[in-house]
Amino acid sequence: EAQVTQNPRYLITVTGKKLTVTCSQNMNHEYMSWYRQDPGLGLRQIYYSMNVEVTDKGDVPEGYKVSRKEKRNFPLILESPSPNQTSLYFCASRRRHQETQYFGPGTRLLVL
């Protein structure tokens, strides 16, 4: 089954404790993105990647890091999480030149 998977689905952590949210897709898509969803703000793009080893900042990259060492994986790293990073995070992937993005199920993060 074609899908985007994220882990963990739920995470509670404390300020400053490094964490990684994994994202994996099995559709051989070139493009992958991370979004955060906050009430009243919709989805905002954090980072995106156009292919292996090619990443770029989205609208809200501060406090986040990403890497794209393999085509299927695009982890999101929070080196020193803060409470304002409490949010619902989505990973998405798509083919180059196509608009259809496939979203993962989301990761709900609470930073205390």
Binding site for another protein (CB under 8 A): 4, 31, 33, 35, 40-45, 48, 50, 56, 58-60, 90, 92, 99-101, 103-106
C-beta of 69 vs 100, nearer to another protein: 100
Of 90, 102, 89, the C-alpha closest to 30 is 102
Q: What are phi and psi of 18, to 5 degrees?
A: -55, 140
48 three-state secondary structure: strand
C-beta of 48 vs 74, nearer to another protein: 48
Helix (H) / strand (E) containing 97: none
In angstroms, give the least distance from the CB of 65 to another protein: 18
